[in-house]
Chain A
Amino acid sequence: AQKITQTQPGMFVQEKEAVTLDCTYDTSDQSYGLFWYKQPSSGEMIFLIYQGSYDEQNATEGRYSLNFQKARKSANLVISASQLGDSAMYFCAMREGSNDYKLSFGAGTTVTVRA
């Protein structure tokens, strides 16, 4: 079974608008961590934001926020005020203790920001 599901293969967003990238996860662990990474065409993996399973507040990092709905096992990424430089592939990932702390990645969502 898929541990991380990203159902949006690609999205277009207008510059300066907000975009929400969906991510649902599957785990039976009580303690786990959720990550979002950005991968531009250069290939590097850029860490964006982290949410721990016990964190009660949604994580925020600048223009990035994570909408964490634990009961629904959902961890959507919201990018506010999109910029052209936000065009990239975005991956949701999960770390579980029961999986030796390896990261499981979703299929990714390609975001294209239009001027």
Chain B
Amino acid sequence: GAVVSQHPSWVICKSGTSVKIECRSLDFQATTMFWYRQFPKQSLMLMATSNEGSKATYEQGVEKDKFLINHASLTLSTLTVTSAHPEDSSFYICSAGTGNYGYTFGSGTRLTVV
């Protein structure tokens, strides 16, 4: 089946630095990738939708300059958290559309900013 590989699984970074999270579709071409953020015991909140070769579409309230999304190829989408602060600590997860039956999710990245 369709697999999305997400790296890193967890990362700790210092406040003010940037962190890049990668999602790769291993056995299919992901035209569209969705990026979510999830706080403990809460639901997944969609941050943005990325389409290969075009600019990402951000949800209302998401800072596009802080959360940079790049979808340069059909198999790779990246999320860069720039100038990270402790409040950016969260679980980030990507998913790719795989046709009528839906979506394949990456395994998620736990980001801790200290």
Give the B-binding residues of A (Cβ under 8 A).
33, 35, 37, 42-45, 47, 50, 52, 89, 91, 95, 100-103, 105-108, 110
Give A33 to B42 CA distance when docked, in angstroms: 22
Known: A35-B102, A95-B102, A100-B49. A106 touches B43 (CB 8 A): yes
- Chain B residues closer than 8 Å to A106, beta-carbon distance: 43
A-B contact pairs, 11 of them (CB 8 A): A35-B102, A42-B107, A43-B38, A44-B107, A50-B101, A50-B102, A103-B103, A107-B42, A108-B41, A108-B42, A108-B43
Tell which of A47, A50, A102, A110 touches B34, judged by Cβ atoms closer than 8 Å: A102
Are B43 and A45 in contact, CB atoms less than 8 angstroms apart?
no
Give A30 to B34 CA distance when docked, in angstroms: 24
Known: A50-B101, A100-B49. A110 touches B41 (CB 8 A): yes
Interface SS majority for chain B: strand
- Chain A residues closer than 8 Å to B34, beta-carbon distance: 102-103
Are B108 and A43 in contact, CB atoms less than 8 angstroms apart?
yes
Q: Within the complex, what minimum Cβ distance (angstroms) separates A73 from chain B?
A: 19
Give A102 to B45 CA distance when docked, in angstroms: 11
The B59-114 residues at the A interface (CB cut-off 8 A) are 91, 93, 95, 97, 100-105, 107-108, 110
Give A95 to B34 CA distance when docked, in angstroms: 13
Q: Within the complex, what minimum Cβ distance (angstroms) separates A98 from chain B?
A: 15
Q: Within the complex, what minimum Cβ distance (angstroms) separates B95 from chain A?
A: 7
